[in-house]
Amino acid sequence: MKSLKFTLFAAAGALLLTFSANAQSAAAKNTRTATSEQKNMQPSEISWTEDSHNFGEIEQGTPVSHEFTFKNTTKQTVLITNVKASCGCTATNYTKTPIKPGETGSVTATYNARNGGNFNKTVSVTTNDSDVKKVLKIKGKVMTPAVEAAPAKKQ
């Protein structure tokens, strides 16, 4: 009987130690995850020359482009991991090679001026040093050509 009590007591103790170790491991993992999430949720430390551009009045049917430049002011090599335009009327191009500290990179936004009227578009840029996207903005007004009235036919 004593042997059975001792065995049950030992099993309960081992089970308690296992649960305790798992709880401590999970708490440590949650702390590491929270720390890395906090780091990634901070804005990127790269320095953009500008984050918006106004094309003003542009001619319909003539695409316009603007190059947004930045300098890597961090202590690590930066890589642009994703660039996404807000619509299909804006094309993008960007520096695809790693940008070392002190070097510069760029993102070019090209707007297809097919439709007349005002436009406000965005380009979201993600880098490897932050999960927070940098939003670049372009705007302007597409001017439609004046349509001349056809002269009346003489009869």
Mean pLDDT of the chain: 80
Q: Name, of 25-29, 134-138, 142-146, the range with top average pLDDT.
A: 134-138
pLDDT score at 150: 53
Please state the domain extents for the chain: 1-41, 47-143
Radius of gyration over every alpha carbon of the chain, rounded to an integer in angstroms:
29
Give residue 15's region: left, alpha or beta (phi > 0; psi -120 to 50): alpha
Answer CATH for 47-143 from 2.70.170.10, 1.10.599.10, 2.60.40.10, 3.60.15.10:
2.60.40.10
Q: Quick one: pLDDT at residue 2?
A: 58
Q: Does residue 110 surpass a pLDDT of 70?
A: yes
| For the chain, percent of residues with pLDDT exceeding 70 | 68
**For residue 57, what are the contacts with CB-CB under 8 A and spacing of at least 6?**
140, 141, 143
Average pLDDT (122-136) is 92
Residue 14 has pLDDT above 70, yes or no: no
The pLDDT-based confidence of 4 (bands split at 50, 70, 90) is low
